[in-house]
């Protein structure tokens, strides 16, 4: 257990550890990076390292070593229990669903597995941080931590309701010395400039392709080498996304995307197309399948555009390089542009909740003309 488990961004992690060691961890910190880069994991690790009470850890600190955490002491264990975020979030939402109507309205989603570490996720259904959540932080943050050396308030999203952002700003103007506010975001630009200027920005960079490939080689031996290369190219440098990549689902969606594109390229073979569109039904499952198909369609179309424009080294679906090259040779740039336009219309049609199968059929006939 410890920081050695964190994948990539070694220099950033070392800087954070040093600031824990010399007692200079910022009171407000923006942890920025792509989805799956490990922002939440790192935020919890920082909270653990700042509060680990294992004698061996404390001793190593006295000798000036970089702080780490044991993962076994009561503070470490309870802080670690706040992960995985998606499971804790769903539990909190389920608890609220059980409440009486009147209480439901007043209750905001929060995750707290340690008395001094509060996790604030975006509140459904709008999935924004709300005033009630920030009020809870205001209520707690000036209270001296009871069992931790340093209290942590971790906002897992930068999507704030306006009044919530304004309230957060008030805390940031005068934060207590014994607490750190950590804001996780894919895009710091989403935060108010006045919030950004009061926080220290720490960026997790995308990992290089070779690093992701090495990681997958050691941790996903169940995937074939060609599949690992594919995932490494699709995960956009995010280790968490690579390790948990829904490969089977992606391959199925991509199969459908290829049927659609082939159908639209030639005299469409409507029988194959209809067979496929019939499997896309309405409802939550259909919607998920449909957005998977959209992503796969876009990734294949982007590769076709890259091949068409003479950049074969940049394609992501490399396991299909031969077939995609043949397809790209048979297609014009105009066709590809109109197909990409078709996919974005397909997406907006979904948002308007068109019958999914109808939308798919019209996509194929539209781009084939």
For tokens 């390790």, name the residue. 243
Least gap, CB of 61 to Zn ion (angstroms): 12
Give the residue, chosen from 20, 29, 45, 70, that forms a contact with Zn ion under the rule CB under 5 A. 70
In the complex, what is the shortest distance from the CB of residue 113 to Zn ion, in angstroms, rounded to a whole number?
14
* H helix intervals, 144-238: 162-173, 193-196, 209-219, 225-234
Contact between 239 and Zn ion by CB under 5 A: the answer reads no
Q: Based on CB atoms, which residue is closest to Zn ion, 76 or 304?
A: 76
- CA end-to-end span of the chain, whole Å? 59
Smaller CB distance to Zn ion: residue 146 or 271? 146
Among residues 1, 161, 147, the alpha carbon closest in space to that of 72 is found at 1
Contact window for Zn ion (CB under 5 A) among 15-23, 63-71, 132-140, 169-177: 63-71
User: Which one of the spans 64-72, 98-106, 216-224, 287-295 is the region binding Zn ion (CB under 5 A)?
Assistant: 64-72
Q: How far is the CB of 109 from Zn ion (least distance, A)?
A: 27
User: Which 281-340 residues touch Zn ion, going by CB under 5 A?
Assistant: none
Q: Is 135 exposed, middle or buried (0-12, 13-18, 19+ CB in 10 A)?
A: middle
**72: which 2 tokens?**
């076994």
Q: Any alpha helices (H) in 52-127, and if so which ranges?
A: 55-62, 74-80, 85-97, 101-106
In the bound state with Zn ion, the residue whose beta carbon lies nearer, of 147 and 190, is 147
Spell 106-116 as b/e; 16+ CB within 10 A means b. Answer: eebbbbbbbeb
Residue 60 touching Zn ion (CB under 5 A): no
Q: Return the bridge partners of 111, or none.
A: 119
- Confirm if 328 and 314 have CB atoms less than 8 A apart: no
Q: Which stretch binds Zn ion (CB under 5 A): 22-30, 71-79, 124-132, 333-341?
A: 71-79
Q: Which is nearer to Zn ion, 70 or 258 (CB)?
A: 70
Q: Provide, rounded to whole angstroms, the least separation between the CB of residue 1 and Zn ion.
A: 8
Asked if 73 is part of the footprint of Zn ion (rule: CB under 5 A), the reply reads: yes
Tell me if 32 sits within 8 A of 205, measured CB to CB: no
Give long-range contacts, CB 8 A cutoff, 24+ apart: 341-347.
342/366, 342/367, 343/294, 343/297, 343/298, 343/301, 346/294, 346/297, 347/294
Nearer to Zn ion, 59 or 269 (CB): 59
Query: Would you say 73 or 340 has its CB closer to Zn ion?
Result: 73
| Cα dihedral 170, 192, 46, 35 in deg (nearest 10) | 150
Residue closer to Zn ion (CB basis): 54 or 244: 54
Q: How far is the CB of 6 from Zn ion (least distance, A)?
A: 16
CB of 59 to Zn ion, least distance (A): 13
> Which lies closer to Zn ion via its Cβ, residue 81 or residue 354?
81
Q: How far is the CB of 80 from Zn ion (least distance, A)?
A: 9
- Give 59 or 323: the residue with its C-beta nearer to Zn ion: 59
In the range 33-52, which residues lie near Zn ion by CB under 5 A?
Answer: 52
Cβ-defined contacts of 58-66 (< 8 Å, 24+): 61/21, 64/21, 65/21, 66/3, 66/14, 66/17, 66/18, 66/21
Among 1, 6, 12, 54, contact with Zn ion (rule: CB under 5 A): 54
Distance CA 91, CA 99 (A): 13
Q: Are 22 and 30 in contact (CB under 8 A)?
A: no
**Shortest approach of Zn ion to residue 57 CB, angstroms?**
6
Identified binder of Zn ion from the candidate list 32, 76, 238, 357, rule CB under 5 A:
76
Q: Min. distance of Cβ 43 from Zn ion in angstroms?
A: 16
Cα separation, 283 vs 151, whole angstroms = 42
Would you tell me which residues interact with Zn ion (CB under 5 A)? Answer: 52, 54, 69-70, 73, 76
């Amino acid at each position: 257990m410890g920081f050695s488990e964190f994948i990539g961004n070694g220099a950033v992690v070392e800087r954070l550890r040093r600031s824990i060691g010399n007692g200079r961890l910022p009171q407000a910190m923006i942890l920025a990076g792509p989805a799956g880069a490990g922002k939440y994991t790192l935020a919890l690790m920082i909270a653990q390292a700042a509060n680990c009470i294992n004698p061996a850890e404390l001793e190593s600190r006295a000798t000036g070593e970089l702080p780490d955490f044991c993962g076994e002491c009561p503070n470490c264990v309870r802080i670690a229990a706040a992960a995985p975020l998606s499971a804790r979030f769903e539990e909190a939402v389920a608890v609220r669903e059980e409440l009486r109507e009147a209480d439901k309205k007043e209750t905001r989603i929060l995750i707290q597995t340690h008395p001094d570490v509060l996790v604030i996720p975006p509140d459904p259904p709008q999935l924004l941080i709300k005033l009630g959540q920030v009020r809870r932080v205001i209520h707690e943050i000036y209270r001296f931590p009871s069992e931790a050396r340093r209290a942590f308030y971790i906002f897992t999203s930068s999507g704030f309701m306006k009044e919530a952002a304004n309230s957060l700003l008030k805390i940031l103007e005068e934060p207590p010395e014994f607490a750190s506010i950590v804001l996780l975001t894919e895009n710091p630009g989403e935060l108010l400039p006045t919030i950004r200027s009061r926080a220290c920005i720490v960026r997790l960079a995308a990992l290089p392709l070779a690093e992701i490939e090495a990681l997958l080689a050691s941790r996903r031996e169940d995937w074939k080498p060609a599949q690992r290369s594919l995932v490494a190219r699709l995960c956009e440098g995010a280790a968490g996304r690579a390790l948990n990549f829904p490969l089977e689902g992606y391959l199925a969606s991509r199969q459908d995307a290829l049927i659609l594109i082939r159908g639209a390229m030639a005299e469409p073979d409507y029988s194959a197309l209809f067979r496929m569109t019939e499997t896309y039904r309405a409802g939550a499952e259909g919607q998920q399948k449909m957005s998977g198909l959209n992503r796969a369609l876009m990734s294949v179309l982007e590769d076709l555009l890259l091949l068409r424009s003479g950049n074969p080294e940049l394609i992501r679906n490399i396991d299909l390089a031969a077939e995609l090259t043949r397809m790209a040779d048979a297609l014009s740039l105009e066709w590809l542009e109109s197909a990409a336009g078709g996919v974005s219309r397909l997406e907006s049609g979904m948002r308007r909740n068109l019958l999914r199968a109808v939308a798919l059929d019209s996509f194929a006939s539209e781009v084939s003309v």
